Amino acid sequence: MKVSDFDYNLPSELIAQQPMKPRDRSRLLVLNKRSENIEHSLFYELDRYLEKGDVLVMNDSKVIPARLIGNKKETQGKTEVFLHRKTQARLWECLLKGKNIKRGTVVVFKRGLQAEVKDKSNHETWIVEFNKKEKELINDLYKIGHTPLPPYIKRPEGEKSKDRMKYQTVYAKENKKGSVAAPTAGLHFSHRVMKKIKNKGIKLEYITLHVGLGTFAQVKTEKVKDHKMHAEWAEVKKSTLKNIIKAKQDGRRVVAVGTTSARALEAIFQYKKYSKILNKNYELRITNYEDFRGWINIFIYPGFKFQVVDAILTNFHLPKSTLLMLISAFACIESNRNTGKKKIDKTYQSAIRQGYRFYSYGDAMFIY
C-alpha cells in the first residue's frame, strides 16, 4: 500500500481559516460505513446520531502555546523553537527553525528564558535544554509563547489572540496541559451540545493524549507500512477503562471523539494485559484495573482490526496523512483493506462538492 493512494485534490478555498461561530454550527457529514449512505446535517444535531447508552470518549488534553520565537545568543539570528515533548528534567524534544543551528547553540527569549541545543534527536527534531524547570517554563509559555496553529491556517502576523481560546476544546482541563495541537474533532462541541448529549443518556468519558508532532509530520516514506509514528503520552483512569469494557459487555457503542481518542483506546487494548479481556468475549473480571499511563505510537492504517471503537467523530484530514489512513481503516467492514479507502474517497468527494470546510477549523464527520 502506497502513501500516494491516500492523495486527493482539495480546492484551497475549502481550507477553513477560522472556526464556525458559534462552534456547534459547523456542518456534520454522517457516513454509515455498512450501507455507504451519506447524510448531511449540522453539528448541534449530533445527538440524533447517538444512542442512549453510548459511551462518548473525549480527549481532555489542553493545548499549550508551544511556539517560541527567540534569537541566537551569539549572532542574534531569529530562531523558532517548537516544543514537542519533555524527555527529562529541563530537556525537551523540539523542532527548530533558523540558520546554522548546531549543538551548543543558545537561543534567548523574553523573561530570561534560554534554551541550549544539546543533540540531534532524529532527522527532524533536536533535544533542547531550558534554563527553567517545567512549571516555570509552562508559565513563561503562556506569557511569550504562540498557539501552534497548523501552517495552512494563515495569520497576518503570528498568532491572533483569539486563537488561544478558539484552538481549544471547551472541555480541556487545566491540569492536562501538554498538547502542541488541538484534538480538532472536539473543537465543535459547545456546552449546549454536551448538555443535550447527557440528557439523552449518553455517558461522557475522558482520556488524555497529549497531541504531538505526529499531527503535523508528513509521511515521507513511499510505502505506508514504513512510516514511523512519533510517540505521544496517554493517560486513562481505571474507572474509564472499566466503563468502556462494561459498555462492550452490554453491547453498547464506544464512540471516539477524534482520531486521538481512537488511537489511545486501540493502543491500550493492544497491550497484553487488556487484550486478553477483549479476546475472551469480555468475560474476565475487571476489578483489578490500574490507571494507564505511558507512551503510545500506534500506527493505524487499512488492514488494522479495531477492537474497541464502534464509531468515530472526526474532521476532514489532509491528503496522505496518517489521520486519513486511520479513518480509511475504520471505514472497512470486511477483511479487504481497500474497501474503507474507497468509501472515504467517495465521501470526501461528496464533501468537496457540497462545499464542506476542511482541516482543523473545518466541519465534522461521523462514521458508524
Over 90: is that where the pLDDT of 91 sits?
A: yes
Distance CA 121, CA 94 (A): 9
Report the predicted TM-score, pTM, of the whole model to 2 decimal places: 0.90
Mean pLDDT along residues 26-46: 97
Q: Give the C-alpha separation, 33 to 338, whole Å.
A: 13
For the record, the C-alpha cell of 79 comes out as 530562531
Q: CB neighbours of 66 closer than 8 A, spacing ≥ 6?
A: 82, 83, 84, 141, 145, 148, 180
d(CA 259, CA 183): 8
Query: What pLDDT is attached to residue 72?
Result: 95
Inter-CA distances, 308 with 55, 119, 254, Å: 11, 39, 7
Q: What is the mean pLDDT of the chain?
A: 90
Phi and psi, residue 241, nearest 5°? -60, -40
Q: In which region does residue 98 sit, left (phi positive, over 0), alpha (psi from -120 to 50) or beta (all else)?
A: left
Rounded average pLDDT over 55-61: 98
Q: Could you tell me the domains of the chain?
A: 3-63+167-367 (3.40.1780.10), 67-145 (2.40.10.240)
- Report how far residue 342's alpha carbon sits from residue 271's, in angstroms, rounded to the nearest whole number: 30
On the question of pLDDT at 272 being above 60, the answer is no
Given a contact cutoff of 8 angstroms between Cβ atoms, the answer to whether 359 and 181 are in contact is no
- Note whether 161 and 232 are within 8 A (CB): no
Lowest mean per-residue pLDDT among 122-136, 146-160, 258-272, 274-288: 274-288
